[in-house]
């Protein structure tokens, strides 16, 4: 399993990669633009090309993932928001493809009370258009949600419904967030519960579509339906339960990326990565013992 972290973008793409390398991350995740703004960052093509070369020669970082802008809502019934979301997704995916990203993680958005069925055609059209424009070099990874409001992806069935409506497009995958799972009501407090969860995902979506994990503890209790990340071992999930999922034998080919606050609230650092590695090792040991 590759263990990595979200890295800050201050100073540009090369600086973000250097931060990941400095902390010894096996994988990194970054935003291709401001995470909370519509305006795209104008990356020089030579900078994008150079990033690919730098990552190929990084002593630690073996994979880069990108995260799409938070404002995107492909399910929005408001025409202006929907069109801006489509354009923003296309821009994010173009940059992710250009730097050789292994996947662009996406929050699909919220149907705002209309229901998933009513918004599926909008979602699928936007996903297909972005993938075609980018050439499909970088997959889009739909992330599960904590379950607030009309957010899409609170269950494996909802993620499966989006993929099915897209005709099972193989360029669509899944990113599984441990905190979102917990907040949406799932439990993996025991090895048996973790195994049942993995089996449910396989049955609903297929483990072949699971491309990435987001590794986070939770500030809120199970079923709270709120997206609130906490440092590993300091939240309501705890290191043991996280280890049950992280150590599952069927997940060992995946990257697990930290999105925790970190010691001073500036994001994950070396100590958080060390904690992740300890939790992973303990989880593997528990699975070996059965």
Average pLDDT in the 139-154 region? 96
Question: What distance in Å separates the CA atoms of residue 171 and residue 173, rounded to the nearest whole number?
Answer: 7
Residue that has been written with the tokens 């979102």 in this structure: 180
Choose, from 26, 43, 122, 177, the residue flagged as catalytic. Answer: 177
Q: Give the mean pLDDT of the chain.
A: 96
Q: What is the pLDDT of residue 290?
A: 85
Q: What is the pLDDT of residues 37-71, one digit of tens each?
A: 999 999 999 999 999 999 999 999 999 999 999 99
**Mean pLDDT (whole number) for 111-128:** 95
Band of pLDDT at residue 189, cut at 50, 70 and 90: very high
Between the alpha carbon of residue 258 and those of residues 83, 227, 244, the distances in Å are 31, 14, 17
Catalytic, 18? Answer no
Nearest of 41, 42, 51, 43 to residue 14 by alpha carbon? 51
User: Packing angle between helix 238-246 and helix 270-289, nearest 10 degrees?
Assistant: 70
Contacts of 94 (CB under 8 A, 6+ apart): 133, 134
pLDDT value for 30? 97
Q: Hey, how many other C-beta atoms are within 10 angstroms of the C-beta on 154?
A: 23
| Residue position matching structure tokens 């990874």 | 141
% pLDDT > 70, the chain: 100
Q: Is 57 a catalytic residue?
A: no
Rounded Cα distance between 289 and 122, Å, is: 47
What pLDDT does residue 136 have? Answer: 85
User: Which residue in 19, 67, 154, 248 is the catalytic one?
Assistant: 67
E strand or H helix at 140, and its extent? strand 140-143
Residue of 209, 214, 248, 280 marked catalytic? 214
pLDDT for 194-242, tens place per residue? 999 999 999 999 999 999 999 999 999 999 999 999 999 999 999 999 9
Residue 254 pLDDT greater than 90, yes or no: yes
Q: Model confidence over 159-175: pLDDT tens digits?
A: 999 999 999 999 999 99
pLDDT at 264: 84
Identify the CATH homologous superfamily for domain 2-289: Divalent-metal-dependent TIM barrel enzymes (3.20.20.150)
Does the active-site annotation cover 67?
yes
User: What pLDDT score does 12 carry?
Assistant: 92
């Amino acid at each position: 399993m590759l263990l990595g972290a979200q890295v800050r973008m201050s100073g540009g793409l090369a600086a973000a990669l250097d931060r990941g390398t400095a902390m010894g991350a096996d994988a990194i995740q970054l935003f291709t633009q401001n995470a909370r703004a519509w305006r795209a960052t104008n990356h020089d093509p030579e900078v994008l090309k150079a990033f690919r070369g730098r990552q190929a020669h990084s002593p630690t970082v073996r994979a880069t993932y990108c995260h799409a802008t938070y404002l995107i809502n492909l399910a929005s019934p408001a025409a202006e928001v929907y069109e801006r979301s489509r354009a923003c997704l296309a821009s994010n995916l173009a940059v992710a493809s250009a730097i050789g990203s292994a996947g662009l993680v996406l929050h699909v958005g919220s149907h705002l009370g209309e229901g998933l069925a009513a918004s599926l055609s909008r979602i699928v059209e936007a996903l297909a258009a972005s993938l075609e424009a980018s050439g499909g070099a970088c997959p889009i990874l739909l992330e599960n949600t904590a379950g607030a409001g009309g957010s899409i992806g609170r269950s494996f069935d909802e993620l499966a419904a989006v993929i099915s409506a897209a005709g099972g497009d193989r360029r669509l995958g899944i990113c599984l967030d441990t905190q979102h799972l917990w907040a949406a009501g799932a439990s993996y407090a025991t090895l048996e519960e973790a195994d049942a969860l993995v089996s449910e995902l396989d049955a609903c979506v297929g483990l072949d579509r699971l491309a990435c994990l987001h590794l986070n503890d939770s500030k809120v209790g199970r079923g709270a339906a709120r997206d609130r990340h906490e440092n590993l071992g300091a939240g309501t999930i705890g290191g043991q339960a996280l280890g049950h999922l992280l150590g599952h034998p069927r997940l060992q080919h995946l990257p697990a990326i930290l999105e925790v606050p970190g010691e001073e609230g500036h994001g994950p650092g070396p100590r958080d990565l060390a904690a992740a590695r300890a939790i992973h090792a303990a989880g593997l040991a528990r699975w070996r013992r059965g």
